Structure 1
Amino acid sequence: MKYLILLYGTQADARTDATDLLDDVNRELRESGEFVEAQGLAEPARARRVEHLRGVPVVTDGPFAETQEVLAGYWLVDCAGLERATEIAARFGGTADVREVECAAEVDLAPACVAMAELVMGTADDQLALPTPCTDYPVADLIRHVDEVAGGGAELGDGWRVRVARQLATLRRAWIDPAAWTGTGHLDLPKRTWGRIVLTELVVHGWDLATATGQPFDLPAGTLRACFDHVAEFVPNAPLPELWGPPVEVPADAALLDRIVALTGRDPR
């Protein structure tokens, strides 16, 4: 489940360097697979507050009173439940609100779309001809394929990174709608199955692209679990089995991402 942790502090706190603590927490969350997103906010002196008094907007510029608590940053985590989210919030040492994030879609594709967009933006021109673990596709063709999955499909040209990243954002928004998961789609497969196929394309080809270009590829545990559950059931019985290579054997306690790519015919070692 996803939780938003809102961290508060005073203007005096904004002058305190908490970089080491925040780096430690972020590292722990990435290692546990619970990290989704985090962002600190600018100091209150650069903030602006809008209130309504008798229906009239009143704007107040920062800085605010030294002791007044203001929003300092947020963390989006994907963890087991409210108790675990509370444990994470307590690590920051200040005042924090913990709120569950409601997601109407069956599976949240946002983390995989964002991670893929980051990989695309980080791919250099001189890497486009490199081979990838997906043997049919060098890097350039793999990115074209991802673009097609996202509903694009144009040739890579000027500004291709931004265009593909925007297409992935469009894909993310499309699958937020619960209606996208109902009914039947291509090959008479349920749309809820197609949503999981799209997720698998992003996860597996994200790993392909990250491996080929030497970039990090981190996904929350919930995203990986949803992908693994689909791959373990669907790939052995896929209507087009030629799309996947024979599974690669990995230890039972291997990382979830390694188990996913192994089931799709890739060697994670």
Structure 2
Amino acid sequence: MHIANLDDIRLHHRIDGDPDGAPVVFSNSLGTDLRLWDQIIPLLPKGLKFIRYDMRGHGLSDCPPAPYGMGALVSDVEKLMDHLGVRDAVFVGLSIGGMIAQGLAAKRLDLIRALVLSNTGARIGNRDMWQDRIDAVRAGGIEALSEATLQRWFSAAFRASDAFNGWRNMLIRQPVEGYIGCSAAISGTDFMTTTAALRLPTLGIAGSEDGSTPPDLVRETLDLIPGAEFALIRGAGHLPCVEQPEAYARILTDFITRQGHATL
């Protein structure tokens, strides 16, 4: 267990792979922790350094009072990467993690050499939608909206599996204040103009059954970045790295290798 003390926040993070390898940083989705990537890491090329972390209000990281701003979430991982001495990383962000990735690339291009925007958008939903969710969680906890959330997250086939129960438990056991804080950050974020100014190798990944960030939203975001690539994983929902880890890892490996970040 690694805890980085970053002045105003302590972030739980994990490092796997080759400690001297080229870095790949992962940023997870709202309502999950760094275990989101457990099935992916062993399938990626050897010789890389894999860095995962729990964003504020999630997992074993600190949980300050809500609301949070997207700027704080971006600053958190910026400080973590500086703390770890990481530069020129391939940055993989899923959902809110993909929004954090866009903000970090705009702020500190020295930290990122290539971007993977998975199941995300430059703008996700609207303020009224997020306020309704925040109010529901305040009134009844995360479990009050868990059923609807999990239907958006996972395909019907996966929801019928035993593994699904673990992900449901992960969601409802996240700190309420952290869930609300990050929901507020998403609510207040519109990166359409910011992301349109990015100029770096970018891959977008979508799941055909994603009810939270549908493929068209991911495509709309990628269209803002010249030369960005798009990959669709059929039969998967909002967390394709969970439902179809082999397909996800193949797509990610191909992209990482083509950036000269790893050799097979």
- Is TM-score (shorter-chain normalized) higher than 0.5? no
Tell me the TM-score normalised to structure 1 length: 0.24
Bigger radius of gyration among the two: 1
